[in-house]
Amino acid sequence: MTVTSAGPSAVGAALDRKDGPLKVRGAATYAGEWPVDNPAYLYPLQATIAAGRITGVDASAALDLPGVLGVITHVNAPKLAWATDPEVAVLQSDEVAWRGQIVGAVVAETLETARHAAGLVRLAYEQRPHDTELRADRHDLHRPQHAALFGAAPGDLQDGSPADSALGDVDAGLAEAAFTLDATYTTPMNHHNPMEPHTGIAVWTDDEITLYCSSQGVHLHRSLLAGAFGVDAARIRAISPHVGGGFGSKVYPVVWGTLALMGAQLVPGRPVKFALTRQQMFALVGYRPATIQRVRLGADSDGRLTAIAHDVIQQTARAKEYAEQTVGATRAMYAAPNRSTTTRVAALDVPVPTIMRGPGEATGMFALESAMDEMASAAGLDPIEFRIRNEPAVHPEHGLPFSTRNLVACLREGARRFGWEGRDPAPLSRRENDWLVGTGVASSIYPSPRLPGNSASIHADADGRYTVRIGAADIGTGTWTALTQIAAEALGVGVEDVNLEIGDTSLPVASSAGFSSGINCWGSTIYAAADELRKLLDSEHGGMVPAEGIEASADMPDNPYMEQFAMYSFGAQFAEVRVHEDTGEIRVPRLLGVFDAGRIINPKTARSQLIGGMTQGLSMALHEASVIDPRFGHVVNNDLGGYHFASNADVGSVEVHYLEERDPYTNPMGSKGIGEVCIVGTAAAIANAVHHATGVRVRDLPITLDKLIV
Amino acid sequence: MDVEILLRVDGKEHRLTVDTRTTLLDALRERLGNTSPKKGCDHGQCGACTVLMNGQRVTSCLVLAVAGEGAEIVTAEGLAEGDELHPVQRAFIAHDAFQCGYCTPGQVVSAVAMMREAQAGWPSVVTEDLDADVVVLDDREIAERMSGNLCRCAAYANIVPAIAEVARP
Ligand code: FES
Ligand code: FES
């Protein structure tokens, strides 16, 4: 058996999802579904005040209930070695920092008993006044200082970038402009709501600690939990081969992991199962923070931007600072000599926000791309032409060239496919029966970063089979299929010869599925491991796999081009919207996106990811808002009946196209990220179409019918 | 209170003792190890737990296990015949009508029952002819009738054509 570098290319083939046959019959094993013997069940207790401290615990009635194995509160919980992060460390003090925070747990023989007993535990509180309202006129806004989560250089915002940026003189740029805009856009809290609730099954023995978990990255979860419990990471095995969606909520906050492990410590050797309820998820696994965004634009009489200013106020939690790059996309999108961005946060008595698909970019681009539409109208330009006139030659802030940037081509190709030509730009220009019809466009952008901490191994058998091992995650993203294709290409063999193993800390370390970085990181690492294997075979075995097999491994190599180029995916999204004249009902019969995401590994699974992101963008535009009752501090619509996200009948045609160009600088596959670019811009395209249909500019998401009936 | 019940699931009989508070969903998943129906909300709001009960789709989180006594229960696992997948399951794979797959068994079961409902002439809110003996499942009917099955990965634009392929061969 020989290994060549140029075999039939598996990358680019529209293969069916490898895990498909298991998933359609419900036989893929998600976290709570591992067959374990005689499990005990854990049910958590949540704070019923938004701020204050616990002054008393009475667990006697719960403990008297037959079948209850224990009640854990801050009084008797194990002291954790690392308790600085409230999303990881729970039950470490009597302080309550938000309503719904974990204040205890019951472990019992059955789920029913655990839940019943949880209702019998009495907690007394000393309440402090709380404050959950985000307003622009607050006096306590501050510049965030958020240590980057992902290992990039520590910066103010969670992606490692600074809170503020400035070039030139915005006031002068606005003063010299022929057209100006000064508008404020607002977006609410959104919750990820993956269909699989966050779940852990933990088994704690003297030797090994096993955690079956819902995880976007088992290695990150293991290191967080090993740190918290003060145990050697090698003792913990985290397993998560199939995950029922995450969208960011299964990357970092692992309260469910911590609690499952505490439960397991209580009953050593016995598996403890803990699944959050849907309602609990609204307080414990993060959310997209609400924003208030002021955008100022100036343009000269030719429609060239003279100034761009984007000032963002967003919420964070008093318990832990989280600040995302809501201004990030604005820094990279359009050319203008004078520009500034600022980020300020208000620390509230609310649950801790976290990354949610397109964290920052999704909300920031709702504001910027709505503003671009408003400016195009003011300048009397077609919104596509206006964007093209302001296309930058290099990154507008730091001046690096883009590795590839085909935004203009996406806009043009999208316009052609959507039938944009001949559009009457006047609002209220199209009416069909009782429906006002409008169309809108917006750009999409998302970076293609890398996260550190990746390694892969490949074992070759003499019979021509290759086992590729990396602790990567498939949260529905198609990793099982795409990495198999990449490994086949890297090894120059067919996909049927590759056996992939992911989602387990017993495999080589891998970064989490987040930041649209998975395929970039894991694929590059597999490529490097295939190179190592080839070298080893050539140098020691004359290119032939020995009878006993052979194994090689590699870490993710550095990409020197990351310092030399700005790397982003781009897209153009088009929406057709119909608004009922009498009721204000809003329908979106058609969404169309054209994306520049480099080379597409698997057009079938990639398409699913892109239509999924666009549909979530539709959902963000029209449906989603978590509503906090300021009197009590909790999300009142905390279930799937109250928190509406797009259902089947809310969605019409969703079309996606790729402008496939191999990116020469991102990675050996030539790919860029696709997971998040697709949700960026959708909400603006829909808001712009709503304006075109009705003449009403809605600057406050979600766009509900009450905002259209004036 | 515990009671002994008989559950008939995917053609097999199981005698088990359950707490009267146990839902059919928890009995299937936690007691019988049948992970085909999923728990997404436990409130009848997402459809992930959909099973057939005497031929009709129900959200098994809203059925108490004791109420399932003697009923014929079919999960997505039971729709497949051994390794031979049901046509709806094959269409879901061919159209990539899912990503994470957590809503998928519920979608599949729901689609199978929904096609029978249309065949029997049950109208939906978008049905034009309320007296029709058989409702033709155009895309709008499919989307409407499948809206009790949420998919957060938002594979709807693939779910509708997957079902259409089976419903309108
Ligand atoms: S789990 Fe039964 S409907 Fe959601
Ligand atoms: S496939 Fe993930 S929820 Fe439907």
B81-132 pLDDT, tens per residue? 989 999 999 999 999 999 999 999 999 999 999 999 999 999 999 999 999 9
On whether both B96 and B145 belong to a single domain, the answer is yes
Burial of B17 (0-12, 13-18, 19+ CB in 10 A): exposed
Of A35, A196, A639, the CB nearest to B33: A35
Pick the residue from chain B with its C-alpha nearest to A640.
Answer: B45
At A360, list the tokens.
């920052």
Contacts with B147 from chain A: Cβ below 8 Å:
647-650
Pick the residue from chain B with its C-alpha nearest to A110.
Answer: B19
Strand partners, A369: none
Interface with B, mutate which of A33, A195, A249 (most B CBs under 10 A) = A195
Which atom of ligand 2 lies at the shortest distance from residue B103's CA?
Answer: 4
At A230, list the tokens.
């003060």
Quick one: residue A670, left, alpha or beta (phi over 0 = left, psi -120 to 50 = alpha)? Answer: left
CATH number at residue B121: 1.10.150.120
Q: Do domains A20-29+451-558 and A165-190+288-449+564-708 have the same CATH topology?
A: yes
Cβ distance A394 to A402 under 8 Å? yes
* Nearest to B88, CA basis, from B110, B60, B120: B110
Sequence spans of domains, chain A = 20-29+451-558, 34-129+193-284, 165-190+288-449+564-708
Contacts with B38 from chain A: Cβ below 8 Å:
26, 30, 195-196, 244
Residues of A annotated as catalytic are 676
Cα B24 from Cα A314, distance rounded (Å):
43
Question: Which residue out of B29, B35, B41, B146 has the highest number of ligand 1 atoms within 8 Å of its CB and is therefore the one to mutate?
Answer: B41
Given this model, what pLDDT does residue A147 score? 57
Cα A652 from Cα A614, distance rounded (Å):
12
* Kind and range of the H or E run holding A168: none
- Picking from B79, B108, B136, the residue at the C-terminal end of a domain is B79
Secondary structure class of A561 (helix, strand, coil): helix
* Nearest to A648, CA basis, from A673, A615, A607: A615
Residue A599 has pLDDT above 50, yes or no: yes
A328-373 pLDDT, tens per residue? 999 999 999 999 999 999 999 999 999 999 999 999 999 999 999 9
Cβ distance A571 to A679 under 8 Å? no
- Picking from B79, B106, B122, the residue at the C-terminal end of a domain is B79
In eight-state DSSP terms, residue B131 is T
Given this model, what pLDDT does residue A254 score? 87
Q: What is the second-level CATH architecture of the domain A165-190+288-449+564-708?
A: 2-Layer Sandwich (3.30)
Residue A597 has pLDDT above 90, yes or no: yes
Cα A261 from Cα A178, distance rounded (Å):
62
- CATH value of A20-29+451-558 in 3.20.20.70, 3.40.50.10860, 3.30.365.10, 3.30.2130.30: 3.30.365.10
Domain span at residue B73 reads 2-79
- Picking from B44, B79, B114, the residue at the C-terminal end of a domain is B79
Cα A335 from Cα A337, distance rounded (Å):
7
Contacts with A193 from chain B: Cβ below 8 Å:
152
Ligand at minimal distance from the CA of A30 is 2
Q: How far is the CA of A508 from the centre of ligand 2 (A)?
A: 28
CATH number at residue B49: 3.10.20.30
* Nearest to A456, CA basis, from A472, A440, A435, A470: A470
The predicted model scores a pTM of 0.97
Residue A153 has pLDDT above 90, yes or no: no
Pick the residue from chain B with its C-alpha nearest to A21.
Answer: B93
Secondary structure class of A479 (helix, strand, coil): helix
Homologous superfamily (CATH) for A34-129+193-284: Aldehyde oxidase/xanthine dehydrogenase, a/b hammerhead (3.90.1170.50)
Task: Please report the residues numbered 91 through 110 in chain B whose beta carbons come closer than 8 angstroms to any beta carbon of chain A.
Answer: 92-94, 96, 98-105, 108
List, in sequence order, every beta strand (DSSP E) within chain B. Answer: 2-9, 12-19, 50-53, 56-59, 72-74
* Kind and range of the H or E run holding A594: strand A586-596
On whether both B92 and B158 belong to a single domain, the answer is yes
Strand partners, A598: A671
Given this model, what pLDDT does residue A710 score? 66
A643-701 pLDDT, tens per residue? 999 999 999 999 999 998 899 999 999 999 999 999 999 999 999 999 999 999 999 99
In eight-state DSSP terms, residue A520 is I
Residue A7 has pLDDT above 80, yes or no: no
On whether both B20 and B58 belong to a single domain, the answer is yes
Q: Do B40 and A195 touch (CB under 8 A)?
A: yes
Pocket lining: B102 vs ligand 1, CB cutoff 6 Å: no
Instruction: Quickly state the pLDDT bin for A4 (edges 50, 70, 90).
Output: very low
Of B34, B41, B102, the CB nearest to A245: B102
Of A17, A607, A641, the CB nearest to B45: A641
Residue A640 has pLDDT above 60, yes or no: yes
Cβ distance A263 to A107 under 8 Å? yes
On whether both B75 and B92 belong to a single domain, the answer is no
A&B contacts, CB < 8 Å:
189
On whether both B7 and B60 belong to a single domain, the answer is yes
Cα A303 from Cα A321, distance rounded (Å):
39
- Edge-to-edge strand ranges of the sheet holding A52-58: A95-96, A52-58, A122-127
For residue A603, what are the CA distances in angstroms to A310, A417, A503, B74, B120? 36, 19, 23, 34, 38
A429-468 pLDDT, tens per residue? 999 999 999 999 999 999 999 999 999 999 999 999 999 9
Considering its fold, how many domains does chain B have in total? 2
Instruction: Quickly state the pLDDT bin for A150 (edges 50, 70, 90).
Output: very low
Average pLDDT over residues B134-139: 97
Contacts with B36 from chain A: Cβ below 8 Å:
25-27
Find the length of chain A: 710
Q: Do A20 and B100 touch (CB under 8 A)?
A: no
On whether both B94 and B52 belong to a single domain, the answer is no
Burial of B29 (0-12, 13-18, 19+ CB in 10 A): buried
On whether both B159 and B93 belong to a single domain, the answer is yes
Pocket lining: B37 vs ligand 1, CB cutoff 6 Å: no
